[in-house]
Amino acid sequence: MTTSESPAPHFEVAVIGTGFSGLGVAAGLKRAGITDFVVFERASDVGGTWRDNTYPGAACDTESNLYSFSFAPNPGWNHTYAPQPEILAYLRDTARRFGLLPHVRFQHAVRSAAWDDAEARWHIETSAGPFTARFLVSGHGPLAEPKWPDIPGLDTFPGPVFHSSRWRHDLDLTGKRVAVIGTGASAVQFVPEIAKQVGRLTVYQRSAPWIVPRLNRRVDARTQRLYRALPAAQLADRGRIAARRELLVLGFFDPGKERLVADVARAHLEAQVQDPELRAKLKPNYRVGCKRILVSDDYYPALTREGVELVTDPIREVRPEGVVTGDGTLREADAIVLGTGFHVAESPAARVFRGRDGRTLAEVWNGSPRAYRGTTVHGFPNLFLMVGPNTGLGHTSIVYMIEAQVAYLVSALCHLRREHLLALDVREDAQRAYNDRVQAELAKSVWVKGGCTSFYLDQHGQNVGLWPGFAFRYKAGLRRFDPGSYHFRLSPVPLGRSGVRAGAR
């Protein structure tokens, strides 16, 4: 326990997580000359989502040249769509090259963080002891906490049951009867891999996803040499990919343009699945884009393999022998793999932060996350959320949004330094007006009007996951810190360069 003789270590900025968000923040702080910061990581390695998701076939569905930091291009990508090991290696290399590792405290899981209004600082409890910080940045990714389905009998199944994000590499599935529950982005990647080795594979589908071709290919040595010799060439390719992907957003608001993507997806299905009965099961019954559009070249062929069955009847229960569907059919299974996604709209991370009035972020949100610019929340001074509400994208790279938020965060910290301000808190009216504008735009989109339920939606049917439009519009809005949207607390004494009151340390 911390005593007055040994106070908890204090930092100007504390960052949680070492995925793209946490490392992006750390690198941004260093570039701005802010070095008094710590990064808490619950695991023993950096990487976040790309460290934890090691299931067979794990890969990104955004091209590598765009799914990377603009300040840290990688000329050595081996694939146009990088697999998980390459992305993890990239994050490790980024942490090393930019000198971020000395700031990381591994095996420090953040259990709680409470704002102390009298001290104007955050009190943080970690698995390795207490800390305090003037600013707190949450790098909890939206794909951090796996979601388990509520199926009777699942918890009593005698065989292995595991989520795709916690893959059991110690298990040999060769020749086994395997049940896969869920057909989202992860399942579309691991099903083709395990279909090659299992004895029998049963895939349980609640709703068919829209799938377009991935067209992944290896990056040849000549292209890699060009990128190394002429970085502008890789930058140009990045710009081309970004521009093409930005145009896709038009289809989410214009049914006419939406049909172009739907036609590509239907042609892909017809070309790869000849059986009319199976093809009918794989035809989505909602508008394209309402749920996440998936990319794959090998998922449909995997479902046509001998010994693979796609089941669309709802699951009634799990018994010791296997899975029972609504029509009473029992399909035996030796192992169950869950491809059921993550807690996105109601992130468990929101229970970590306790604001000025003593309530947690989860209590304030009450199932409907809201934030100003997806980054700050009224009543939680000096707290910044990375990839917060309405910052997700259905068409381009989330790393683009992360870098926009980092620029805004750094701009805010610099403003407070210049003005000798201790704390900021976004005005409630500014937050409300911002979210009203966002929801008004989203109400016109396929994400709300497309005839489906998705993890983008909260309990009231409002889209709390996605940004409504072009990513460059979001970036433009965060280019400069807007002090008029905030309440500030003046420091009683000038702040030093580290942001700590002069003479306080």
For 407-460, how does the pLDDT look when each residue is reduced to its tens digit (9 = 90+)? 999 999 999 999 999 999 999 999 999 999 999 999 999 999 999 988 888 888
Q: How confident is the model at residue 345 (pLDDT cuts 50, 70, 90)?
A: low
Q: What is the pLDDT of residue 504?
A: 36
Would you state the structure tokens that stand for residue 210, as one six-digit string? Answer: 């829209």
Q: How confident is the model at residue 319 (pLDDT cuts 50, 70, 90)?
A: very high
Q: What is the pLDDT of residue 464?
A: 93
> E strand or H helix at 96, and its extent?
helix 84-97
| 285-304 tens-digit pLDDT | 999 999 999 999 999 999 99
Q: What is the pLDDT of residue 375?
A: 98
pLDDT at 197 > cutoff 90: yes
Q: Is 496 helix (H, G, I), strand (E, B) or coil?
A: coil
Q: How confident is the model at residue 349 (pLDDT cuts 50, 70, 90)?
A: confident
Q: What is the pLDDT of residue 437?
A: 97
Share of the chain above pLDDT 90, in %: 87
Q: What is the mean pLDDT of residues 499-503?
A: 41
Q: How confident is the model at residue 502 (pLDDT cuts 50, 70, 90)?
A: very low
Cα 455 to Cα 206: distance, rounded to the nearest angstrom: 14
pLDDT at 4 > cutoff 90: no
| 357-407 tens-digit pLDDT | 999 999 999 989 999 999 999 999 999 999 999 999 989 999 999 999 999
Q: What is the mean pLDDT of residues 158-173?
A: 97
> 414-451 burial, b if ≥16 CB within 10 A, otherwise e?
ebbbeeebbbbbbeeebbeebbeebbebbeebbbbebe
Q: What is the pLDDT of residue 458?
A: 87
Q: How confident is the model at residue 500 (pLDDT cuts 50, 70, 90)?
A: very low
Q: How confident is the model at residue 493 (pLDDT cuts 50, 70, 90)?
A: low
Q: What is the mean pLDDT of residues 8-34?
A: 97
Lowest mean pLDDT, pick from 51-55, 341-345, 460-464: 341-345
pLDDT at 143 > cutoff 80: no
pLDDT at 498 > cutoff 50: no
Would you state the structure tokens that stand for residue 427, as one six-digit string? Answer: 């005005």
Closest CA to 203 of 218, 188, 220, 222: 188
Q: What is the mean pLDDT of residues 79-94?
A: 98
Would you state the structure tokens that stand for residue 54, as one six-digit string? Answer: 């090691």
Which amino acid, one-letter code, is at 87?
A: I
Which amino acid, one-letter code, is at 27?
A: A
Q: What is the pLDDT of residue 5?
A: 61
Q: What would you measure as the largest C-alpha separation in the chain, in angstroms? A: 76
Q: What is the mean pLDDT of residues 245-252?
A: 91
pLDDT at 503 > cutoff 60: no
pLDDT at 499 > cutoff 50: no
Is residue 172 a contact partner of residue 160, using CB atoms and an 8 Å limit?
A: no
Q: Annotate 297-343 with DSSP letters as a single string.
A: SSHHHHHTSTTEEEE-SPEEEEETTEEEETTS-EEE-SEEEE---B-
Q: What is the pLDDT of residue 255?
A: 80
CA distances from 177 to 123, 317, 469 (A): 49, 17, 44
Q: Is 254 helix (H, G, I), strand (E, B) or coil?
A: coil
Cα 252 to Cα 245: distance, rounded to the nearest angstrom: 12
Q: What is the pLDDT of residue 156?
A: 94
pLDDT at 6 > cutoff 90: no
